[in-house]
Amino acid sequence: MCILSAEKEIVNFWLNKKGFFTINNIKSANRDLGIIALKDKQLLHYEILCSITSSQKDSVGGLIQEKFSNKSIQKIIKRHLDQFNLKETKKFIVLSNISNKNIIKKFNEKNIEVLEFENILADVIKDLDTQYYKNDVIRSLQLLKYLFLTNSKNVSNILVNETLSPNERKEFMKELLDKEEIVKEFRKTNEERLAEILKHSTIKNPEKLAELLENKVLNRRTRKPFLSSLLEQRKIKKIYKQEFSKKKKETPLNKFF
């Protein structure tokens, strides 16, 4: 029995769910070929290259030569084309941590489509149901989805405190708050938490805060009650009285004529 890497198992499962028949145990010169997928008179050749610590730094030309243009690999692909009476083949490379978009362009120029492993992983996890999966890798993802991800405290501790960098944390929160379901829940935020968010937000300019309230928060119905309530707050009321008394003490112009 051929034991696949975790990332190869995930891509293979993803292809099977899409209705592809896959051949994943082919070797060329003692190296794994990747995955060959068959469907609708097409042969698709997938190579998987994933890293959790860094983005792709290898030469694109070197990878193409090693993974796709090698003579022994081309010979194996041709054998399968002939075996299944196919004439068309497509090439894909699955990469992780793609920070340099120029890499995608270089592969595309050689008619190799780049897929992001993170997107495939997300698709697999999203579609997992509660049936028992014999595949250990897929079973692990199922446990992650239905046990770990349902515990909000564990998720926040791992993601926010231990996994994400400050920039990644910012992007995560931005993506989260773009979801309508999250926004609906956010509307239920209690006063204390909302005060903390505003206090530590980047909105430090009073004019900007006033503009935000005027244009984004208050409406014709709430504007007047808000202002009345604001002026009743002890500290605000004190400042307002001081400013108002200063204006009253100013000498009117008619006193000079």
User: What is the 3-state secondary structure of 66-105?
Assistant: HHHHCHHHHHHHHHHHHHCCCCEEEEEEEECCCCCHHHHH
The whole-model pTM stands at 0.68
CATH number at residue 117: 3.40.1350.10
Residue 76 domain flag = yes
Is the pLDDT reported for residue 231 higher than 50? yes
Q: Are 95 and 74 in contact (CB under 8 A)?
A: no
Residue 124 lies in a domain: yes
Higher pLDDT, 197 or 82: 82
Distance CA 29, CA 141 (A): 32
Number of domains composing the chain? 1
* Residue 118 confidence (pLDDT): 93
Assess if residue 219 is contained within a domain: no
Q: Tell whether 106 is covered by a domain.
A: yes
pLDDT confidence band for 162 (50 / 70 / 90): low
In this predicted structure, what is the pLDDT of residue 222? 83
* pLDDT for the residue numbered 203: 63
On whether residue 68 sits in a domain, the answer given is yes
Tokens of 77: 């692909």
- State how far the Cα of 49 lies from the Cα of 63, in Å rounded to an integer: 10
Segments forming the whole domain that contains residue 95: 6-141
Q: 56 or 155: which carries more pLDDT confidence?
A: 155
Residue 172 has pLDDT above 60, yes or no: yes
CA-based angle 58:62:65, to the nearest 5?
145
For the stretch 23-35, pLDDT in tens is: 988 877 667 788 9
Binned at pLDDT 50, 70 and 90, residue 240 comes out as: low
Q: Which pLDDT tens digit goes with each residue over 89-113?
A: 899 999 998 877 888 999 999 999 9
Residue 128: inside a domain: yes
Instruction: Return the sign of the alpha-carbon dihedral for residues 29, 33, 39, 40.
Output: negative
- Report yes or no on 233 lying in a domain: no
If we measure between CA atoms, which residue out of 4, 5, 10 comes closest to residue 127?
A: 10
Tokens for 184? 């609906």
